[in-house]
A and B are shown apart, each in its own frame.
Chain A
Amino acid sequence: MSYLSGKDGSITYNGVKLAKVASWTLSSQVEALEVTSLEDFARDYTPGLKTASGSCTIWMYDDAATALLSKVIRTDNPTDADKLTMTLGFGAKSVTFTSMITNAELAMTVGEVMQAQIQFSVCGDMTSVVL
Chain B
Amino acid sequence: MAVILGNSGIVELTRSSIDETFTSDVNPSDVNPTKNSFSFDFPLGQLLTGDQLEIKATDGDTLDFITGWTYPDGKWFINVDPVGGIRLYEDFEGAVNGEITGRVDLQLPSRDIPIEVKVQNSFARCLAEVTEFELNTSRDAVDVTEIGEEFRQQFGTLISGSGTIGCFFEYQQNPCGSDGSVTPELALYMHQLVIRQQLGSEFKARLYLVRRGTGSGVDFDDEVWYEFNAWVTNVAIAFEPTQLVRSQIQFVTNGLIQLKVKTASNYLLQENDDRILLERNQGTGYLEVEQQE
Partner-B contacts on A (CB < 8 A) = 6-11, 19-24, 59, 61, 110-113
User: What is the interface residue range for chain B against chain A?
Assistant: 10 to 19
B145 within 8 Å of A (CB atoms)? yes
Q: Is there an interface contact between B140 and A59, defined as CB atoms closer than 8 Å?
A: no
- Shortest C-beta distance, B147 to chain A (Å), equals 3
Q: How far is the CA of A110 from the CA of B147 in the complex (A)?
A: 24
Q: How far is the CA of A19 from the CA of B144 in the complex (A)?
A: 12
B147 close to A112 (CB less than 8 A): no
B158 at the A interface (CB under 8 A): yes
Q: Which of B71-79, B149-157, B197-205 contacts the other chain?
A: B149-157
Q: Which residues of A contact B146 (CB under 8 A)?
A: 6, 19-22, 59
B148/A113 in contact, CB under 8 A: no
Shortest Cβ distance from A14 into chain B, in angstroms?
18
A111-B158, A113-B155, A113-B157 given; A23·B147 CB < 8 A: yes
Nearest B residue to A17 via CB reads B148
With both beta carbons as reference points, the residue of chain B lying nearest to A23 in the complex is identified as: B147
Question: Among the interface residues A6, A21, A61, which one has the most CB atoms of the partner chain B within 10 A?
Answer: A6
A23 to B148, CA, bound (A): 10
User: In angstroms, how far is the closest chain B Cβ from the Cβ of A57?
Assistant: 10
User: In whole angstroms, what is the CA distance A104 to B1 when docked?
Assistant: 58
Given A111-B140, A112-B142, A113-B142, the answer on whether A10 and B157 have CB atoms closer than 8 Å is no
Q: Is the CB of A113 within 8 A of B158?
A: no
Interface centre among B146, B148, B149, B158 (most CB of A within 10 A): B146
* Number of A-B residue pairs having CB atoms within 8 Å of each other in the complex: 42
Contacts of B148 in A (CB 8 A): 6-10, 21
Closest residue of B by beta carbon distance from A9: B147
27 contacts between A and B (CB under 8 A): A6-B145, A6-B146, A6-B147, A6-B149, A7-B148, A8-B148, A9-B147, A9-B148, A10-B147, A10-B148, A11-B147, A19-B146, A20-B146, A21-B147, A21-B148, A22-B145, A22-B146, A22-B147, A59-B144, A59-B146, A61-B144, A110-B158, A111-B142, A111-B157, A111-B158, A113-B142, A113-B144
A interface majority secondary structure: mixed
Residues on the B chain within 8 Å of A23, using CB:
147
Which partner residue on chain B sits nearest A90 by CB separation? B147
Q: A7-B147, A8-B148, A111-B158 are in contact. List 11 more A-B contacts (CB 8 A).
A: A6-B146, A6-B149, A7-B148, A8-B147, A10-B147, A11-B147, A21-B148, A23-B147, A59-B146, A113-B155, A113-B157
4 nearest A-B residue pairs (beta carbon): A9-B147, A6-B147, A111-B158, A7-B150
Interface residues of B in 140-177 (CB under 8 A from A): 140, 142, 144-150, 155, 157-158
Contact B149 A7 (CB under 8 A): yes
Q: What residues of B have a CB within 8 angstroms of the CB of A8 in the complex?
A: 147-148
- Nearest-neighbour CB distance to chain A for B140, whole angstroms, equals 6
Scoring B residues 75 to 108 as 1 if CB is less than 8 Å from chain A, else 0, what string do you get?
Answer: 0000000000000000000000000000000000
Nearest A residue to B150 by beta-carbon distance? A7
Taking a contact as CB atoms under 8 Å apart, the answer to whether A24 and B147 are in contact is yes
